[in-house]
Amino acid sequence: MEKRKVGYILGVTSILPVIISIIVYYAQRGPNSDIYFIINIFGILSFIGIIFAIFSWKMSKQLILLIVGLIGNVFVLTVAFLLLLAMGISEP
């Protein structure tokens, strides 16, 4: 496969962790949900998405793939950080 095509595939793959995080959020919500599990999933998926976005930019040189992948995954990572901060504040 040529390098540019692999870059496009990685660019689309860098957006998938954001979609998966949204699905996990709506599937695991409620009073009995394990919030630390959700925080771990958000963190892991966003780091994977950021890595894919950087590799897609390196391979395809398309700046739009980098921007969309980074903005989406940094947003998910910020939400995970704020959830972790809220859980730390609420502990006695």
**Residue 75's pLDDT band (cuts 50, 70, 90):** very high
Residues listed for the chain: 92
Domain count, the chain: 1
For the record, the structure tokens of 22 come out as: 């949204």
Residue 61 φ/ψ region, left for φ over 0, alpha for ψ in the -120 to 50 degree band, beta for the rest: left
* Residues ≥6 apart with Cβ < 8 Å to 68: 11, 14, 15, 53
Domain span at 14: 3-90
pLDDT, one tens digit per residue, over 4-63 is 888 888 888 999 999 999 999 899 888 888 888 999 999 999 999 999 999 999 888 888
